[in-house]
């Protein structure tokens, strides 16, 4: 009897090929856009729902904190469902130390900027206002802003871009997008854009060193709080009420930052750029 004809073997390369939907979902641009929409959407949605259901007098701090919590939970779900891993960037061990250092770093940066402006004659301190609990109320909104923006620009944009293109391109792309996100703000200028890019590079360097978001968020919150609530000046074009210190900024806009605030000052660009450069030295993506 002759040999039986050999049965055709299935092409494993074809049968194991991921579906079009799976390949599309794995694309870094798709993941970045999806992650950005999913994690940032709870912010305006929570505020809108709260404004419709609760009178303004009772919407103090909790809507912002609730929005921050929902944004965090959605980010955790996004990471676990798409990358099947633990949320290491929010690991609790050492979190308190990183938050404390981030708060000190942000306060130190702002203090350095205003000290230099004072030496240059662009900032004059007039006095100190009474300390009250009202100074703490903006913290809820600032925690929301710091958490949401760091999840978006460091946890999603920078991290996913770094995985695909490497650290250098991730730094550049996340810095450009971070600056573009502030273009609608009042008083934005070329110097302000430069400062925002430098700030994003600094935050990316912090993330590269720690691989966590605690220090980034704390630094972000402290910077915004000190600029607005301690020195009573505009934060990225947003005017604030009178804070702890009474002072006056005067002089050329390239020095004071104009309507955008000190974040559009050349002094801020220099201070943050120096810190960012120092942090980048020795920062490496783990192999």
Task: Report if residue 66 sits inside a domain.
Answer: no
Task: Report if residue 159 sits inside a domain.
Answer: yes
Supply the mean pLDDT for the chain.
Answer: 91
pLDDT band at 287 (very low <50, low <70, confident <90, very high): very low
Q: What is the DSSP letter of 229?
A: I
Look at residues 89, 66, 65, 114 and name the one whose alpha carbon lies nearest to residue 221: 65
pLDDT band at 241 (very low <50, low <70, confident <90, very high): confident
- Is pTM beyond 0.75? Reply is yes
Of the chain, the percentage scoring pLDDT greater than 70 comes to 93
Task: Report if residue 210 sits inside a domain.
Answer: yes
pLDDT of 180 > 60? The answer is: yes
pLDDT band at 282 (very low <50, low <70, confident <90, very high): confident
DSSP string, 151-220: IIIIIIIIHHHHHHH-HHHHHHHHHHHHHHTTTTSTT--HHHHHHHHHHHHHHHHHHHHHSSSHHHHHHH
pLDDT of 20 > 90? The answer is: no
Task: Report if residue 249 sits inside a domain.
Answer: yes
Task: Report if residue 227 sits inside a domain.
Answer: yes
What is the rounded distance in angstroms from the CA atom of residue 213 to the CA atom of residue 219? 10
State which residues form the domain around 145. Answer: 94-280
Task: Report if residue 239 sits inside a domain.
Answer: yes
What is the rounded distance in angstroms from the CA atom of residue 129 to the CA atom of residue 63? 28
pLDDT band at 117 (very low <50, low <70, confident <90, very high): very high
Please, are residues 152 and 243 in contact by the beta-carbon 8 Å criterion?
A: no
Task: Report if residue 10 sits inside a domain.
Answer: no
Task: Report if residue 39 sits inside a domain.
Answer: no
Please, are residues 143 and 63 in contact by the beta-carbon 8 Å criterion?
A: no
What is the rounded distance in angstroms from the CA atom of residue 18 to the CA atom of residue 214? 36
What is the rounded distance in angstroms from the CA atom of residue 140 to the CA atom of residue 242? 17
Instruction: Dig out the tokens for 177 from the structure.
Output: 């997008």
CB-CB neighbours of 173 under 10 Å: 18
Domain count of the chain?
1
What is the rounded distance in angstroms from the CA atom of residue 150 to the CA atom of residue 181? 13
């Amino acid at each position: 009897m002759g040999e039986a004809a050999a049965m055709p073997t299935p092409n494993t390369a074809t049968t194991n090929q991921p579906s079009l939907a799976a390949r599309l979902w794995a694309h870094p641009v798709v993941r970045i856009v999806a992650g950005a929409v999913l994690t940032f959407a709870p912010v305006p949605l929570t505020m809108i729902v709260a404004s419709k259901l609760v009178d303004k007098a009772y919407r103090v701090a909790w809507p912002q904190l609730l929005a921050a919590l929902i944004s965090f939970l959605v980010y955790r779900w996004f990471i676990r469902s798409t990358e099947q891993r633990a949320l290491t960037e929010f690991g609790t061990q050492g979190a308190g130390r990183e938050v404390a250092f981030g708060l000190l770093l942000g306060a130190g940066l702002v203090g350095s900027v205003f000290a230099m402006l004072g030496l240059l004659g662009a900032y004059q301190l007039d006095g100190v206002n009474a300390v009250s609990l009202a100074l703490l109320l903006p913290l809820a909104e600032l925690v929301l802003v710091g958490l949401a923006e760091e999840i978006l620009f460091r946890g999603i944009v920078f991290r996913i871009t770094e995985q695909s293109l490497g650290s250098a391109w991730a730094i550049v792309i996340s810095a450009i997008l971070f600056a573009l996100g502030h273009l609608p703000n009042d008083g934005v200028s070329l110097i302000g854009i430069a400062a925002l890019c430098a700030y994003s590079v600094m935050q990316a360097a912090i993330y590269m060193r720690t691989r966590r978001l605690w220090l980034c968020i704390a630094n972000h919150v402290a910077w915004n709080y000190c600029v607005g609530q301690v020195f009573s000046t505009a934060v990225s074009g947003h005017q604030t009420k009178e804070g702890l210190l009474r002072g006056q900024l005067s002089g050329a806009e390239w020095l004071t930052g104009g309507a955008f605030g000190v974040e559009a000052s050349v002094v801020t660009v220099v201070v943050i750029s120096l810190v960012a450069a120092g942090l980048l030295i020795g920062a490496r993506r783990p192999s």
